Amino acid sequence: MSDWPRVQLHVVTGKGGTGKSTVAAALALALAGSGRSVLLCEVEGRQGIARMFDVDPLPYAERRLARGLPDAGGRAGQVHALHIDPESALLEYLAMYYKLGRAGKALDRFGVIDFATTIAPGVRDVLLTGKVFEAAQRNARNKDANTYDAIVLDAPPTGRIAQFLGVNSELAGLARVGPIKAQADKVMALLRSPRTAVHLVTVLEEMPVQETADGIAELRAAGLPVGGVVVNLVRPRDLGPGALEEVRTGDVDRTAIAEELTRATAGVTRELVDSLVAEARDHAVRRALEDAQHAVVAGLGVPTYDLPRLAGGIDRGALLELAAIMREQGLA
Amino acid sequence: MRAPRLDVDALLDDPTTGIIVCCGSGGVGKTTTSAALALRAAERGRKVVVLTIDPARRLAQSMGIERLDNTPRPVSGVQGPGSLDAMMLDMKRTFDEVVESQASPEKAKQILENPFYIALSSSFAGTQEYMAMEKLGQVHRQARAEGTHDLIVVDTPPSRSALDFLDAPERLSSFLDGRFIRLLLAPARGPARLMTAGLSVVTGALTKVLGAQVLRDMQTFVAAFDTLFGGFRQRADTTFALLQADGTAFLVVAAPEPDALREADYFVDRLTDDGMPLAGLVVNRATPKPFADLSAEEAIAVADRLRERDPASLTAGMLRLHADRVRMVEREARLRERFAVAHPRVPTAVVPAMATDVHDLTGLREIGRLLAADLVDP
């Protein structure tokens, strides 16, 4: 059972290096069960989705990407993907609201598109979130358009997320009136509603956890709905608390380990035992730090979800594995 | 394919090395690498200043720069003959100072209070990168004039993509004296004949999208800023030339992950194309190679046998951890090898992950030692 049954728009953010795009992709797969249709959007021009799913670079159009994670009855849904770039979004916006076909091209020639999308602060973000908003507002009356049960947005990093989503206040100082302001207001209404949840991805290190805490405070201050904290790249849990303590304090019986190994395999050397003990000690030290940071995360007062670090790296199989864990833990 | 080793100490000790720029994608440990290099150089006798962008709180505290005051402050606790100053970049203040230095007091006031300028100087996507370069130029000029420092280590902003760092100054300066700005200026200057049909479409559309107020703010800003364009452009060009000069060394920082190494790959190509002096690649947070030579498969097989007898076996848990580590080491080696195939001549330093976080000089010193040790393909 999902912890977020009313949420239609899942925004995924996280500090660089925490695996936010991986989490967004796995979440889309997890949400696309039981015939549900999901749209996975990226807005940072990195083509990360195409690389993760090993497909050609995505255009500014919704493409079928992958079958989702099947439910217990084996029924899956479909994940579509969309790469949103601000230039295309602006041209589409102008065409849709102002019938600016030819004039739109003139704008491009004067460098205005470039100007409006990269320079004019906030406008770029309104255009990006505006496209997500448009996809979220579709319903059965929109002919020939895909409709989605859920949308996952691979959003900018934690440090910029409140600014990105809070485009309204960003714009307030500049565009006090005008159509882009009206558009921003509509987008804000969706982003601030219970239909949206902003999930923050972190790893169990001091700085990302601190940024996550700061991000939650900023989102709350901006009136944006905080979702869960996804703790990514969690180290293996092969040693229990007692064993970790034993290893950390150096209180291990090397002779016993050597004897146990010798019963199971040949060629056990002193070097092997020493190496295993040293590796386990490194791990235990790191785990102690992780546990301390995990306690900080638990104290943030939002639901948390733990995803393992997979030694083989991320491919489609790994994404499905993570999706299954998300569903099990109630993120999807 | 084995990458040549990056000789960090030779780079730091070379008196002709005047600037080291650490670049790479976000979350790869650029700030820590910059600080560790700066500390090592200082302890080896250089007079160093390190320019950081967004250090972790405790690291900043340990270096005595928790306040954003845009001025290098001495770091205490440096052991050895050199000296180390550190500063954290305040981008808005740097921008304001440039405006103040280029314009008359009343004009500067007019610009600084313009809503468009405020937005541009605090949230334009490239401002931070541009101001990091501007500050580097300032510190460099001062160091040369007063002999305060003989090595500047620069950390770069956590961009969306590592390339933003090179592109942003150009983008901002070409915006500031670009074609569109000139068009915007035209109505302010008067001649009606410049109001071509094309332009009225443009301003009409912009008014529709942004509203008339934004256009008015922009026009006021542009009119006030007009005389400064040349100065900005020239400063950006000077700094760009400084980056290309001998005496500057770029270090590309990455983590042994596909995304970070892909960014590093783009960056190396780009630096080469732009004639920027590339010193090498630093791969942070590498999984340390275990010294026992036991394969992952074998370790798992033995662990399974042990668990059959005793499900709570500590030894089995250790073997599984060993297997996990071996797999990580193999995967990282494959990723680095791919990079080395594409860039066979880029010297590389591999820094093993530390078991603990780094937030004091002792930790930085240890990172510096690891940077300088020969650990490529251990």
Instruction: Tell me if A146 is assigned to some domain.
Output: yes
Residues A96 and A206 in one domain: yes
Instruction: Tell me if A36 is assigned to some domain.
Output: yes
Please say whether the beta carbons of A72 and A33 come within 8 A.
Answer: no
Residue B192, pLDDT score: 43
Total domains in chain A come to 2
Instruction: Tell me if A291 is assigned to some domain.
Output: no
Interface test with B, best of A115, A154, A180 (most B CBs within 10 A): A115
Total domains in chain B come to 1
Residues A192 and A259 in one domain: no
Least confidently predicted of A292-306, B202-216, B256-270, B282-296:
B202-216
Residue % of chain A over a pLDDT of 70? 87
DSSP state letters, B210-254? H-HHHHHHHHHHHHHHGGGHHHHHHHHHHHHHHHHSTTEEEEEEE
Rg (CA), chain A: 23
Residues 6+ apart with CB under 8 A from A239: A247, A280, A283, A284, A287, B314, B317, B318, B321
Q: How far is B247 from chain A (nearest CA, A)?
A: 31
Top pLDDT among B179 and A44 is at A44
Residue % of chain B over a pLDDT of 90? 44
Least confidently predicted of A74-78, A162-166, B82-86:
A162-166
Residues A154 and A249 in one domain: no
- Encode pLDDT of B212-244 as tens digits: 777 777 777 777 776 776 777 777 778 888 888
- Order of strands across the sheet that contains B47-52: B73-74, B83-88, B47-52, B151-155, B19-23, B248-254, B278-286, B348-352
- A266 interface with B at CB cutoff 8 Å: no
Instruction: Tell me if B24 is assigned to some domain.
Output: yes
Q: Which residue of B has its CA nearest to A100?
A: B205
Instruction: Tell me if B58 is assigned to some domain.
Output: yes
Residues A250 and A224 in one domain: no
Using CA atoms, how far residue B283 sits from A50, A213, B153, B340, in Å, is 25, 28, 18, 12
Half-sphere exposure of B293 (CA within 13 A, CB side): 2
pLDDT of residue B207 exceeding 80, the answer is: no
pLDDT band at A138 (very low <50, low <70, confident <90, very high): confident
CB pair distance less than 8 Å for B321 and A239: yes
- Other C-beta atoms closer than 10 Å to the C-beta of A212 total 27
Separation CA B140–CA B238 (nearest Å)? 11
Contacts of A277 in chain B (CB under 8 A): 318
Please say whether the beta carbons of B89 and B51 come within 8 A.
Answer: yes
| Ramachandran region, residue B190 (left: φ > 0; alpha: ψ -120 to 50; beta: rest) | left
Separation CA B313–CA B303 (nearest Å)? 9
Residue A98, pLDDT score: 66
Residues A57 and A179 in one domain: yes
The arithmetic mean of pLDDT across residues A63-70, rounded, is 96
What part of B 233-272 touches A (C-beta under 8 Å)?
A: 255, 257-260
The CA-based angle B38-B41-B46, given to 5 degrees, is 110
Instruction: Tell me if A135 is assigned to some domain.
Output: yes
Domain hosting A274: range is: 241-283
Instruction: Tell me if B334 is assigned to some domain.
Output: no
Structure token pair of residue A85: 């770039």
Q: How far is B146 from chain A (nearest CA, A)?
A: 36
Structure token pair of residue A10: 């899942």
Residue % of chain A over a pLDDT of 90? 64
Residues A171 and A268 in one domain: no
Q: B282 by DSSP, 3-state: which?
A: strand
Residues A169 and A258 in one domain: no
Separation CA A218–CA A216 (nearest Å)? 5
Q: What is the CATH number of the domain that holds B84?
A: 3.40.50.300
Using CA atoms, how far residue A29 sits from A321, A325, A326, in Å, is 10, 11, 10
Residues A161 and A303 in one domain: yes
Residue % of chain B over a pLDDT of 70? 81
- B167 interface with A at CB cutoff 8 Å: no
Instruction: Tell me if A288 is assigned to some domain.
Output: no
The arithmetic mean of pLDDT across residues A99-127, rounded, is 64
- Encode pLDDT of B243-257 as tens digits: 888 899 999 999 999
Which amino acid, residue B184?
Answer: L
Interface test with A, best of B314, B331, B332 (most A CBs within 10 A): B314
What part of B 29-58 touches A (C-beta under 8 Å)?
A: 54, 56-58
**Could you say which of B158, B208, B318 has the minimum Cβ distance to residue A280?**
B318
**Could you say which of B26, B260, B321 has the minimum Cβ distance to residue A157?**
B26
Please say whether the beta carbons of B290 and B325 come within 8 A.
Answer: yes
Domain hosting B132: range is: 8-179+229-291+343-372
**Could you say which of B26, B179, B208 has the minimum Cβ distance to residue A17?**
B26
Which amino acid, residue A87?
Answer: E
Q: What is the per-residue burial (b if ≥16 Cβ within 10 Å, else e) of B76-101?
A: eebeeebbbbbbbbbbbebbbbbbee
Interface test with B, best of A96, A260, A263, A268 (most B CBs within 10 A): A260
- Other C-beta atoms closer than 10 Å to the C-beta of B160 total 17
Residues A245 and A234 in one domain: no
Q: What is the CATH number of the domain that holds A17?
A: 3.40.50.300
Contacts of B208 in chain A (CB under 8 A): 98, 178-179
Instruction: Tell me if A292 is assigned to some domain.
Output: no
CB pair distance less than 8 Å for A271 and B171: no
Instruction: Tell me if B319 is assigned to some domain.
Output: no
Q: What is the DSSP letter of A300?
A: T
CB pair distance less than 8 Å for A279 and B322: yes
Contacts of B324 in chain A (CB under 8 A): 236, 238, 311
Q: A319 by DSSP, 3-state: which?
A: helix
Residues A271 and A130 in one domain: no
Instruction: Tell me if B273 is assigned to some domain.
Output: yes
Residues A67 and A195 in one domain: yes
The CA-based angle B322-B324-B330, given to 5 degrees, is 100
Instruction: Tell me if B338 is assigned to some domain.
Output: no
Separation CA A217–CA B58 (nearest Å)? 20
- B305 interface with A at CB cutoff 8 Å: yes
Residue B265, pLDDT score: 92
pLDDT of residue A164 exceeding 70, the answer is: yes
Instruction: Tell me if B195 is assigned to some domain.
Output: no
Residues A41 and A128 in one domain: yes
- A89 interface with B at CB cutoff 8 Å: no
Instruction: Tell me if A26 is assigned to some domain.
Output: yes
Structure token pair of residue A188: 């804000």
Instruction: Tell me if A64 is assigned to some domain.
Output: yes
Separation CA B231–CA A40 (nearest Å)? 45
- Encode pLDDT of B114-152 as tens digits: 877 887 777 665 677 778 888 888 899 999 899 999 999
What part of A 170-209 touches B (C-beta under 8 Å)?
A: 170, 173-181, 205-208
- A163 interface with B at CB cutoff 8 Å: yes
Quote the ipTM score. 0.88
Instruction: Tell me if B215 is assigned to some domain.
Output: no
